[in-house]
């Protein structure tokens, strides 16, 4: 559960909300709308580690190409074969 504060409240008590952000996200609102979220550095790094990397087809690493070539559709996907019909 994240804590929500107004930007004015956040400015007045930055140190307090900095400490809270070490344990949970702090949502900062401006004119009643969420505008920023303060996170701990550890949580930010955890989220960044989950980023996906995008490639053009000609940039794909060999191990990704091999994995794509070896991939097989699941049996459940057969239910959608009719969508390929003209």
pTM: 0.60
pLDDT at 1: 67
pLDDT at 63: 92
Cβ neighbours around 26 below 10 Å, total: 22
Task: State mean pLDDT over 50-74.
Answer: 91
Domains and CATH numbers, the chain: 3-71 (3.40.1620.10)
Please calculate the CA angle 65-46-60 and round it to the nearest 5 degrees.
15
Give residue-wise pLDDT tens across range 14-55.
999 999 999 999 999 999 999 999 999 999 999 998 888 888
pLDDT at 74: 93
């Amino acid at each position: 559960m994240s804590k929500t504060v107004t930007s004015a409240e956040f400015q007045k008590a930055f140190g307090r909300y900095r400490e809270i952000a070490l344990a949970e996200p702090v949502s900062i609102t401006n004119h009643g709308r969420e505008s920023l979220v303060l996170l701990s550095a550890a949580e930010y790094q955890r989220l960044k580690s989950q980023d996906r990397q995008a490639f053009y087809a000609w940039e794909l690493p060999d191990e990704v190409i091999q994995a794509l070539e070896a991939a097989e559709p699941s049996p459940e996907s057969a239910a959608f074969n009719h969508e390929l019909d003209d």
